[in-house]
Amino acid sequence: MVNSLHIGLIMDGNGRWATARHLPRTAGHLAGLKALKRVALGAIRNNVGYLTLYCFSTENWKRPKEEVDYLMGLFSEKVTGELPFFNDNGIRLLFLGDMFPLPSEAQEALHFVIEKTAANDRLIVQLAINYGGQDEICRAVNRALEKGISRITPDVIRSNFDNPEVPPVDIIARSAGEMRLSNFLIWDAAYAEFVSYEKLWPDWDEYDIVNIIKAFGQRNRKFGGLGK
């Protein structure tokens, strides 16, 4: 049974974490992956239903080739390497974004883990890779047009997203203190709550999920009405 709370995470600060330790930026990404596992376990223990993880934006291709190649390598090797972790903990993986420009090894690895975790239902994790909110909206509109739909409405766009069955994000949390969305989930952010924490992503653990849930519980969501 999947619970309904949906948390989106902008996992930022890997580079700053590594630089502070006189390490290459790639070491920060590896440490970020370890943080991700702690946070995912925290999400399961605290009955979160959905996590959407911002792993690589449509703009992150602007980074040095070495860093991009390292991240693409992580998406292929680590994703399959962590299959026992996903299955032991009931984690189902979904892909969010435009997979086509990724290296074929990464695409194969992602298809593989998506298939091998399809029966899990404790936590749904959307991996946002080569994801951009603007690109997501354009791809949804193009899908609708290809189906012959000539009138675009909010429902048409939402129902043509990559995983329309995933409910809109409830709360977006960003690490490393930045106060922007950086093209993350911009459609569903319409009424999402937002929190930002100074802590750099590789330092996150399961208690940071508890803090997000607490912050969310204190918000009065009004959706344009008068609220509670």
Which residue ranges make up the site for ligand IPE (CB under 6 A)? 10-16, 54-57, 60, 71, 176, 178, 180, 182
Q: Give the full edge-to-edge strand order of the sheet including 6-10.
A: 91-96, 123-131, 50-57, 6-10, 171-174, 193-196
Q: E-strand spans in the chain?
A: 6-10, 50-57, 91-96, 123-131, 171-174, 193-196
Q: What angle do CA 106, 109, 113 make, to 5 degrees?
A: 140
Least distance in angstroms from the C-beta of 82 to ligand IPE:
17
- Residue 133, binding choice from Mg ion, ligand IPE, none, Cβ under 5 to 8 Å by partner class: none
Catalytic residue among 12, 162, 170, 208: 12
Q: Which of 60, 87, 89, 211 is catalytic?
A: 60
Backbone CA torsion sign across 2, 44, 195, 138: negative
- Could you tell me which of 39, 54, 38 has the C-alpha nearest to residue 209? 39
- 11 is in the binding site of which of ligand IPE, Mg ion, none (Cβ under 5 to 8 A by kind)? ligand IPE
Task: Give contact residues for Mg ion (rule: CB under 5 A).
Answer: 12
Residues in the chain: 228
Contact in structure between 56 and 75 (CB atoms under 8 Å): yes
12 is catalytic: yes
**At its nearest, how many Å lie between Mg ion and the CB of residue 204?**
14
- CB 228 within 8 Å of CB 218: no
Residue 155 bears catalytic tag? no
Least separation in angstroms between residue 12's CB and Mg ion is: 4
Q: Of the two residues 57 and 160, which places its CB atom closer to ligand IPE in the complex?
A: 57
CB closer to ligand IPE out of 109 and 129: 129
**Residue 122 interacts with which of Mg ion, ligand IPE, none, CB < 5 to 8 Å by class:** none
Q: At its nearest, how many Å lie between Mg ion and the CB of residue 202?
A: 12
Q: What is the DSSP letter of 68?
A: H
Shorter beta-carbon distance to Mg ion: residue 86 or 201: 201
Catalytic residue IDs: 12, 60
